[in-house]
Structure 1
């Protein structure tokens, strides 16, 4: 027992030291307290290493691109990455040549001790898949292009959704000027749309299919939709939806309040914010979001149960 306790003490000391080096906690001698950064990381259910990577990358750049953000998040320990195949290496080299300046972190362990070269390059492939998703490339084409299954794409979209939300909250603290770019990317990932559809996708009842239909019909902004009136857009989105979105535009309401980078309705409503992302969905995503329930709170309950179990184990040990 004494040997085990000594080993546990060494582990706790090492973990505490590492967390202190990351800026997550401060050792006050008689107690250890979480810093503001550490508390935020805990609330976001992020690996401390992920938070450190995100904060460091944002503090190094005044401008970011969607691909740069995607690669950064795909390189974090929290993100599932796709394995590389021999056919991928040529594509990776081309990306590094054409978009290398957009990448926010360096290669390999000299940048972060836990990030290997293989992780770095796998993150590029994974980011390319997600970039295609946000550029409205059909699921079947993405699957064929990268030799992955639709289920893999679904998992990537679901996983990156929470990470980009976490990145937005870290950015709010570390680099507010970049907040609008990350908020826009969060919406694009959620719906799988190009940047040009952002003004339309913020309207309640409008998903990726209806937004694209409106845009291709010449209605590219809420103002143009309002000018067309209910009769003008009912043939595209249906009578009830047309009445709803015209009413939203007149009242200045919608998923995001109509302003770029502002907190949307999902941020005010955690139940919608933490729902799964369905790459195969169109305009039904809002309905699905209201019925599938919270994702992270369930994990929190599980962790609370684990914590209670761990406490009981300690009591049993003594």
Structure 2
């Protein structure tokens, strides 16, 4: 017990001639130099206990040798560390969400509790005033709702009237377009083919055909791809006829929309178009069809002098 208590002579107090090469006494008597190596078993412990299959077998250090293994022989850090880093963001996100939920619940609880405490501390007159304010606010809201509903009904009514007016105007425009030839039309009617092998059909014959068809109820028609309108003009000489300036040739195809039976009866009356064309060496073939397409269009004539009457009668 007395040996360890005796202070060892310092390195400066030992004579230089007492130091011999290979003498182990300085190593045993000078723990200050090797104390960090012997007192740090934590560095070598992971190497001895690590289950890494690639780690080298532990080597027992020789007496007096340094117990710390070389830095090159130390194994790499354990693999679970990256997995902990991958779990950290998820855990942080979960903690953040839970914190927000708890904070929201706490705020709602505090607000509810505070409101109840505020009302519980009010006087009866204050509570009555608050109830009156709430009733007045409810009445104002009910009035606003009623006004909005009335406005909605008015808008629906005006929209319905506007839609009806637009629909009526659209139908009238379509009817006028069919009559003046600016809109294509289809419907039941006749397909007439007038053959004039001798070139003797006159302008009057085509005009009579147009007038008789109109008198029988024809709504719209076209002759050889030329739409017939109110101001249609037939000109030229027999065999060289023109309709609104467009030359037409035999056989003349007339497409007309109307009652097929009435139209055919008008064409076959004695002394009518069929008889006159036959006396001139021609012929007329009439075919009734449930669907006749009249797709030739006319350019709308703009009036030069006439203007719409805007006077309301006053």
TM over 0.5: no
Please tell me whether Structure 1 or Structure 2 has the larger radius of gyration of its CA atoms: 2
Counting helix residues as a fraction of each chain, which structure ranks higher? 1
TM-score, normalization by structure 2: 0.20
Relative contact order, CA 8 A, sep 6+: which one is greater?
2
Select the structure that is richer in strand.
Answer: 2
The TM-score, its normalising length taken from structure 1, stands at 0.20
